[in-house]
Amino acid sequence: MSMWLKQSTAVTVKAGPFVDSTDGVTAETGLTISQADIRLSKNGGNIAQSNNAAGATHDELGYYDVPLDTTDTNTLGTLKVLISESGALPVWQDFMVVPANVWDSLFGADKLQVHADEITAGLITATAIATNAIDADALASDAVTEIQSGLATAAALATVDGIVDAILVDTDATIPGLIAALNNISTAEVNAQVVDALATDTYAEPTGVPGATVALATKIGYLYMALRNQVTVTATKKTFFDDGGAAEWEKDLSDDGTTYTETEGNSI
């Protein structure tokens, strides 16, 4: 059975028992095992001597302590330790080198880190999550603050409520009054405003050729110009002038003895 080692971590492992090569039983307790005698194969690679300069030392019953340094254990996967010493039968031991966090999770106080690259559709459902499983205690305080950032808080809502109340106080006396005043406007008041506009408001003379779709005040202005200002008529032209005596537009005239015709106004 392979033993597990933490990657890139110095460790001392047991190798043995070393027994006499002749009878295969007697424990060899006085072997001199140097660095060159300790051979390693990392994850199936070529066999080479250990990087740790120290050799193995006898513990008891033919078992020897073999020191491995961080270079000896730097490769993930299988690690085979082989020792052949004169006078004893060969000894080998298999190890499995695993990442530090895996070793610490299995044999230490760490927790195994799991990164999910894919979650099956529909795996997380309301039924799969217990009621109240995710509560304030399950979230870090900074996570709660981050989630709440930018959202309306009780204090912020209270501020808004106060502003709305102030607006209602300011407008409650004016808006209903304005609505009541609008409802109380009589026909006579409207007529008075229209009469006032017609009797007192003044408008400048329109200029250019009268258009087909112009404001009512402009149309009235053209009629007033034709009545008030200079108009000249020849056998073929009728010309309309502004208040300053400048020709604004004209009409072409014709008479075939049966029908007298005036064209639309056109530019001078």
86: domain CATH number is 2.60.40
Q: What is the mean predicted confidence (pLDDT) over 176-180?
A: 71
With respect to residue 174, please indicate whether it lies within any of the assigned structural domains.
no
Within a 10 A sphere around the Cβ of 202, how many other Cβ atoms? 4
CB 81 within 8 A of CB 2: no
Question: What do you get for the CA distance between the two ends of the chain, in Å?
Answer: 115
Q: Look over the chain and give the mean of its residue pLDDT values, rounded to a whole number.
A: 87
With respect to residue 116, please indicate whether it lies within any of the assigned structural domains.
no
Q: Which domain holds residue 237?
A: 216-267
Evaluate if residue 1 carries a pLDDT over 70.
no
Count: domains in the chain: 2
Tokens of 168: 């209602």
CA-nearest of 107, 78, 72 to 95 is 78
With respect to residue 139, please indicate whether it lies within any of the assigned structural domains.
no
With respect to residue 9, please indicate whether it lies within any of the assigned structural domains.
yes
Within a 10 A sphere around the Cβ of 225, how many other Cβ atoms? 21
Evaluate if residue 172 carries a pLDDT over 80.
no
Q: Final residue of a domain: which of 60, 86, 107?
A: 107
Q: What is the mean predicted confidence (pLDDT) over 41-57?
A: 95
Compare 181 and 243 and report the one with higher pLDDT.
243
Tokens of 218: 């402009």
Q: Final residue of a domain: which of 62, 85, 107?
A: 107
CA-nearest of 15, 16, 20 to 89 is 20
Q: What is the mean predicted confidence (pLDDT) over 169-191?
A: 73
Compare 236 and 120 and report the one with higher pLDDT.
236
With respect to residue 240, please indicate whether it lies within any of the assigned structural domains.
yes
Instruction: Tell me the whole-structure pTM to 2 decimals.
Output: 0.45
Q: Rounded to whole angstroms, how far apart are CA atoms 91 and 78?
A: 17
Q: Final residue of a domain: which of 61, 83, 107?
A: 107
